[in-house]
């Protein structure tokens, strides 16, 4: 079952009605939808989409081509606090990342997951931890926006999703992306179809840079 958009605090009623009428009843339906497409819907404003984008990012998803929040700088600190907004549902679980990967339906994703476990461990020196049902994270940090919204998350990580491999927390800078290979970059995520499409040495370089830079740098 998806996360209904009307459960996200601060989203105007007009935005909720417009999204429901356009066939977007939950956050999962919004994942990957172009920001400008939603802005064209009558009743959908910037602030409502900003709230929804924040909720999507909390769950490892994102609108396509969403702008950075206006005047909403966040502060990041390393470590876990346990203080999170009530609607955030992505937390550390007790599942083994290795067992999760071995249980994936697609054999190719099992191989991809094994490879990414090796690369991320080598780059960070950390053991992986499951966040929610499908995200594998390394390290922990706490974020807090000027609005007071806050939560705990991982520093870098990945999810071997069926459609694409999703990579989190990496520096989306031209000096890396121009050498990486075939990929799609969004606000806080990097998507690749398969490891063979990218330069894995550059990927490891990006992970090391994100890890070295500390919380809130990527």
DSSP one-letter string for the chain: ---BGGGSTT--HHHHHHHHHTT--BHHHHTT-BHHHHHTSTT--HHHHHHHHHHHHHTT---BTPPPPTT--EEEEES------TT----B-S--HHHHHHT-SSHHHHHHHHHHHHHHHHHH-PPPEEETTTEEEES-EEEEETTS-EEEE-SEEEEE-SS-EEEES----HHHHHHHBS-EE-SSEEEES-GGGB-HHHHHHHHHHHHHH-TT--
Q: Look up the pTM and report it.
A: 0.65
pLDDT digits (tens, 9 = 90+) for 46-72: 888 988 988 888 787 899 998 876 544
Q: Which two tokens stand for residue 109?
A: 């994703």
Mean pLDDT (the chain) is 86
Topology given in CATH for the domain delimited by 74-213: 3.90.1150
Over range 193-202, report the average pLDDT. Answer: 97
Over range 111-115, report the average pLDDT. Answer: 98
Nearest to 135 by CA among 155, 115, 150: 155
- Binning pLDDT at 50, 70 and 90, where does residue 87 land? low
Contacts of 45 (CB under 8 A, 6+ apart): 12, 14, 15
List the domain boundaries for the chain.
5-58, 74-213
Torsion angle in degrees (nearest 10) through CA of 125, 126, 128, 131: -130
Q: What is the pLDDT of residue 217?
A: 39
CATH label, 5-58, candidates 1.10.1060, 3.30.70, 1.10.150, 3.30.310: 1.10.150
């Amino acid at each position: 079952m998806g996360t209904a958009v009307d459960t996200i605090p601060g989203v105007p009623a007009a935005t909720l009605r417009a999204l429901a009428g356009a066939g977007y009843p939950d956050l999962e339906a919004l994942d990957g939808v172009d920001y400008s497409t939603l802005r064209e819907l009558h009743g959908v404003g910037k602030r409502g989409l900003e709230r929804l984008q924040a909720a999507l990012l909390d769950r490892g998803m994102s609108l396509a081509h969403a702008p950075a929040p206006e005047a909403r700088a966040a502060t990041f600190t390393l470590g876990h606090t346990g203080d999170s907004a009530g609607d955030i549902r992505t937390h550390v679980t007790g599942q083994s990342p290795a067992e999760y990967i071995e249980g994936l339906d697609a054999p190719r994703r099992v191989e991809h997951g094994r490879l990414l476990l090796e690369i991320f461990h080598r780059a960070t020196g950390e053991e992986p931890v499951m966040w929610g049902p499908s995200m594998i994270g390394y390290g922990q940090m706490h974020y807090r926006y000027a609005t007071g919204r806050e939560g705990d998350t991982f520093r870098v990580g990945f999810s071997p999703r069926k459609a694409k491999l999703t990579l989190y927390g990496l520096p989306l800078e031209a000096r890396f992306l121009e050498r990486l290979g075939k990929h799609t970059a969004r606000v806080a995520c990097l998507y690749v179809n398969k490891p063979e499409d990218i330069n894995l040495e550059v990927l490891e370089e990006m992970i090391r840079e994100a890890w070295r830079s500390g919380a809130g740098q990527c």
